[in-house]
Amino acid sequence: MFEVRERDALARIGLLETGHGRVTTPALLPVVNPNRPIISPTDLARRFHAEILITNAYILGKGPHRDSVLRQGVHEFLGFSGAVMTDSGAFQSHVYGDVDVTNAEVIDFQKRIGTDLGTMLDVFSEPSHDRTRATHDVDETVRRAREADSLRGEMALVGAVQGGLHTDLRERCAREVSALGVSVCAIGGVVPLLESYRFQDLVRVIIASKKGLDPSKPVHLFGAGHPLVFPLAALLGCDLFDSASYAKYARDGRMLFADGTRRAAELLESGCPCPVCTDRSMKEIAGSETLLAEHNLHICFGAIREVRRAIAHGDLWELVERRARAHPTLLVALRELRQHNEFLEAFEPVARRGALYYVGPETAHRPILHRFRQRVMERYQPPPAKGLLVLPENRRPFTEAYASALSRVMATADVHAVVKSIWGPVPVELDHVWPMAQSVVPDSLDVESLEAAEVFFREWAAGAGYPFGLLWEGESSLDELRARAPGHRVVDWNASRVRATADYQFGRGAADAILRGNISYVVSKNTGKVRNVLVDGDHVVSLRAEDGLFTLKAAGARRLHRAFRAPSLRIVVEADAIPFIREGKNVFAKFVREADPELRPGDESLVVSPDDELCAVAQSSMNRQEMLAFKRGVAAHVREGVPPSPSALPR
């Protein structure tokens, strides 16, 4: 079983339960060659804190230790009390052309040696395979996955995804294999891509596979053992990595680093803070395969921990964009991601703790910013005005004095104002929404970002489609703005921000629904910003200072529930769970029957009964696809239970 604890992009920190303990993911599985263990499994556990390792069932079954491992079981044989995954021989078929073992034999052997995760014998689909051959690879892999599922007994099974570079085949294979009784889904056939730095193809293969995969199952990326790829692969939803690289590169005198590989003999110093490099001279290290392997393991485990740190902190995108500079081919892979924003966006949380940092011209294409631009187009309604005032990037976020001068100009000249930011046009009423007010952007920008800002603006202006009587551009100083508006009328910022935010966050029409009636605000004494919004005396929403979005209250939820039809904003739960949810208990994924496909992790949502009665207001922690797939974990954190309406009570 797999449970998610933290998430960022498609990455997650999860707990994978095995027959030998829980494994925190993303996890690195060091490959142990049973015939030539360079670091003993005992040391892997004791000195490197490995919770899981991987060894090869095919090699064990064919090798001199077959009888011992059958007699002792794989854990005792290796001297490792943590989780053990075994591979099947598919990679050996890639290397040697064929293997002399059947799927059924290898499953049987893995059961007998007591592996925690046993792998089916899939067909290694080379990147060069044409559609016909790749179709055959997939058909045969799916057939064997079914066979393995039927034979596995109590063994947790690893199913493989093949299909070469054919994205539709990858997606089909992923869908069919992950629908079976497999505990882990492994993306296979990628080693040739990794070996030749074909990271753009790797991205396409992972994304195609993820589209088909059951999101509740952990994903293993077979053969990915170089720290260079961990951040990107984790970002795309890979949870497990196996590394033979630490040993292979050591044998070849090479050292792994987060930004590449270097030959030990060519270095006077490694520039690495790991225990090996801190305590030993470069000469000693270069002369010892064991020390090289230890260094490589420290770097690989460190890189996996760094990925987990970034997921927990919510800055995995920054890590990926920074690391992409380690090699031009990684940068090309990063630039590929924008092609898949429709898919990636569905998994992106609505906000995170810290700031969003500009890393390069790729930053503007992150899913969170793609979503902002999309929602501004689809959900935001500009107030009626005679013209548009276009403000430059550097006015964001607004100071109080600037906002005040701006509001006078807007009211007096009857204009509507938008910042032409490098993230896209930002209506001034939405300048406080994450990450618009929480971005760290350089003072001077690259040409690509500036050009993108123009393109984003034009797309929006064309899409907005309302007639601009006048269009001023480039006002920036307070004095200029003051000179424009000698009058004294001012825009009501509170009202316009609250309206714009409601539509932006919940969908067009939400402002009308929530704010119909007599509106009043509770305003922060320190910042002058709206905290709570009351309508006809009911507290409908609170505005969060940290991300500029609303926390929905029961009264607001009732209004949205009346105004928006199912499935909008809803999470439909099983009838059994409703009494608990009304009491304020969280919504567990296994009780979710349906949900709005537009809901995103972090979104405010309406928890309803199968006949659409409002039971609670909650903050979702999954999207629809995840809520329906997961059997474990919280789908939404209930903020407030809503009691049954009198008409619905049993009489």
Smallest gap from Cβ 303 to a second copy, in A, equals: 8
323: nearest Cα among 254, 234, 252: 234
Does 310 bind a second copy (CB under 8 A)? Our answer is yes
Comparing CA positions, the residue from 134, 226, 229, 217 lying closest to residue 177 is 217
Quick one: which of 75, 129, 308, 416 contacts a second copy (CB under 8 A)? 308
Task: Name which position in 15, 20, 65, 357 contacts a second copy (CB under 8 A).
Answer: 357
* Active-site residue identified among 8, 87, 315, 503: 87
Does 571 sit near a second copy (CB under 8 A)? no
Binding flag, residue 19, a second copy (CB under 8 A): no
- Alpha carbons within 13 A on the beta-carbon side of 475: 23
Between residue 602 and residue 641, which ones bind a second copy under the rule CB under 8 A?
none
546 sits near a second copy (criterion: CB under 8 A): no
Rounded to whole angstroms, the Cα distance separating 189 from 123 reads: 9
Q: Considering the rule CB under 8 A, would residue 361 count as an interface residue with a second copy?
A: yes
SS3 at position 76: helix
Q: CA angle, 239 as apex, 236 and 245 as ends, to 5°? A: 100
If one asks whether residue 578 binds a second copy (CB under 8 A), the answer comes out as no
Tell me how far apart the 2 most distant CA atoms of the chain are, in Å. 93
Q: Which is nearer to a second copy, 273 or 537 (CB)?
A: 273
What is the total count of residues that contact a second copy (CB under 8 A)?
54
Query: Binding a second copy by CB under 8 A: which of 21, 153, 328, 610?
Result: 328
Q: Which residues contact 600 (CB under 8 A, 6 or more apart)?
A: 345, 346, 347, 348, 349, 350, 371, 620, 623
Window 208-267: residues binding a second copy (CB under 8 A) = 259, 262, 266-267
Q: What are phi and psi of 538, to 5 degrees?
A: -90, 135
**Which of these segments, 77-85, 92-100, 275-283, 555-563, binds a second copy (CB under 8 A)?**
275-283
With CB under 8 A as the contact rule, the residue among 171, 214, 321, 429 that binds a second copy is 321
**Shortest distance, position 174 Cβ to a second copy, whole Å:** 27
End-to-end CA distance of the chain: 42
Strand 117-119 to strand 83-87: parallel, antiparallel, or no bridges (unpaired)? parallel
Contact code string over 422-441 relative to a second copy, x by CB under 8 A: ------------------xx
Length of the chain counted residue by residue: 651
Closest approach of a second copy to the CB of residue 317, in Å: 12
Distance between CA 613 and CA 140 in Å, rounded?
47
Q: Contact between 51 and a second copy (CB under 8 A)?
A: no
Candidate segments 273-281, 458-466, 552-560, 583-591, binder of a second copy by CB under 8 A: 273-281
List of long-range contacts for 98-104, beta carbons under 8 Å, 24+ apart: 99/58, 101/58, 101/61, 101/62, 103/144, 103/147, 103/148, 104/147, 104/151
Could you say which residues in the range 451-480 bind a second copy, by CB under 8 A?
A: 451
Based on the shown chain and the rule CB under 8 A, indicate whether residue 508 belongs to the binding site for a second copy. Answer: no
SS3 182: coil
- The question of whether 139 is a catalytic residue gets the answer no
Binding region for a second copy (CB under 8 A) = 48, 200, 259, 262, 266-275, 277-279, 298-299, 301-303, 305-310, 312-313, 321-322, 325-329, 331-332, 335, 357-361, 440-444, 446-448, 451
Q: Which residues are catalytic?
A: 87
